[in-house]
Amino acid sequence: MTSSTAPLPPLRPLADTSPSAIVAGFVAMMTGYTSSLILMFQAGQAAHLTPEQISSWIWALSIGMGLTTIGLSLRYRTPVVVAWSTPGAALLITSLPGVPYGEAIGAFIVCNALIAVCGLTGGFETIMRRVPPALASALLAGILFRIGLEIFVAAQHQTALVLSMFFTYLIVKRLASRYAILSALIVGTAVAGGLGLLDFSHFNVSLAKPVWTTPSFSLSATISIAIPLFVVAMASQNVPGLAVLRADGYKVPASPLISTMGIASVLLAPFGSHGIHLAAITAAICTGREAHEDPAKRYTAAVWSGVFYLIAGTFGATIAALFAAFPKALVVSIAALALFGSIMNGLANAMHDTKQREAALITFMVTASGLTLLSIGSAFWGLIAGVVTLAILQWRRT
């Protein structure tokens, strides 16, 4: 497995790539957009932003994600996937209205400056080193479990489509495992077309134009937007995102990742970006065996994901119409299939150590529950529950 201290082989991303890596990168990008892009539209419309401002917002996020994903993955030979803050976007639906947009931009800058400081000072790395490996694996499995279930929920509504994809995946997995996801995607698209589920009537191509908004700073915007956004980003994005990497054996240092994303977010904030952070679900698509047989070459899946982000960002909000053309059942099914391997590995590693097994189970259950408290998602609370359980069960135990 790649390590930040081991000598790195020559950088050959094109030679290291494979069809499965390209597909994993595309599925990761597609999953990221389809799962939460609508939240940006909701938040922007609630704040009465113009279509140009919303398009610029998506452009800034996409360009930031693409550049940082490619740069960090090549730098560390590790599948580092960057994503926008989905919980943060949900938070903005209620906190952005009533705040002048310039002050909101200022709050984005404050939030991401705090994140950069956490990375530069090494505080985040110190915290993550103390997370037991079993809990990190359980956290990963819990995060992905809910996504994996979606394929069976979708089967209730689009039975023929989902079953055709599922059995294609199993058959090709048996014959040529590296092409299982690609084959399921191709068959799913063909079946969706045959069933009349593809709708490109609202699709049109247009380039995004970045719109600059001069930031201004206020105490009220800092309290109502910056601080909650900071807490949500760190607890619901960066902690589980790094846990995914660690659970799959990638020991890349946390501080450079966090500080790079914080600085990039500050620079892109005037164009609308509320913040880019470590991905968890989409990262797991690129860190699993389905992305590449060789763990040392899975970084190419993340690089391709970054390339697709850059392409999507160039066309801004137009990308939403493209993904809207695909039925939801197809999107959630291909994401679930791509995550099966990561869920299996997470559960296996979480239950391996008998001394940490019960704490790992609690972490998995709380994380998989979808619990939300204080606007912070279940990944954070799952980790807290696991740590507390472990501390109680092992207190003064020799």
Give the tens place of pLDDT for each residue, 310-343: 988 887 656 656 666 778 788 778 778 877 877 8
CA 103 vs CA 50, 98, 112, 215: distances in Å:
16, 10, 14, 6
Distance of CA 38 to the CA centre of its chain: 15
CB 311 within 8 A of CB 59: no
What phi-psi label fits residue 9: left (phi over 0), alpha (psi between -120 and 50 degrees) or beta? beta
Question: Which residues of the chain have a pLDDT value below 70?
Answer: 1-9, 34-39, 41-42, 87, 90-91, 94, 127-129, 140, 178, 202-205, 236, 316-324, 375-377, 396-398
**From CA 189, how far away is CA 195, in angstroms rounded?**
10
CA 357 vs CA 17, 95, 214, 228, 360: distances in Å:
36, 40, 51, 33, 5
CA 67 vs CA 76, 193, 268: distances in Å:
14, 34, 12
pLDDT at 375: 62
State the DSSP H helix or E strand holding residue 277, giving kind and residue range, or none if neither: strand 276-278
> Three-state DSSP class for 276?
strand
pLDDT at 9: 66
Give residue for tokens 């994901």.
305
pLDDT at 312: 83
Q: What sign does the dihedral 11-238-285-366 (CA atoms) show? A: positive
> Three-state DSSP class for 43?
helix
* Per-residue model confidence as pLDDT tens digits over 269-315: 999 888 899 887 788 888 887 778 888 889 999 999 999 999 888 87
**From CA 40, how far away is CA 320, in angstroms rounded?**
11
Strand partners, 84: 276
Give the angle subtended at the CA of 103 by the CAs of 102 and 107, to the nearest 5°.
Answer: 120
- Tokens, residue 28: 């990761």
CA 258 vs CA 1, 29, 254: distances in Å:
21, 20, 6
**From CA 245, how far away is CA 52, in angstroms rounded?**
36
State the DSSP H helix or E strand holding residue 83, giving kind and residue range, or none if neither: strand 82-84
What phi and psi values does residue 77 have, to the nearest 5 degrees?
50, 40
- Tokens, residue 184: 């399921």
For residue 134, which of 365, 352, 391 has the smallest C-alpha distance? 352
**From CA 23, how far away is CA 33, in angstroms rounded?**
15
Measured in residues, the chain has a length of 398
**From CA 340, how far away is CA 284, in angstroms rounded?**
10
> Which percentage of the chain shows pLDDT scores above 90?
21
Sketch the domain layout of the chain as residue ranges: 19-146+200-395
pLDDT at 105: 94
Q: Which residues have a Cβ under 8 Å from the Cβ of 348 and sit 6 or more positions away? A: 137
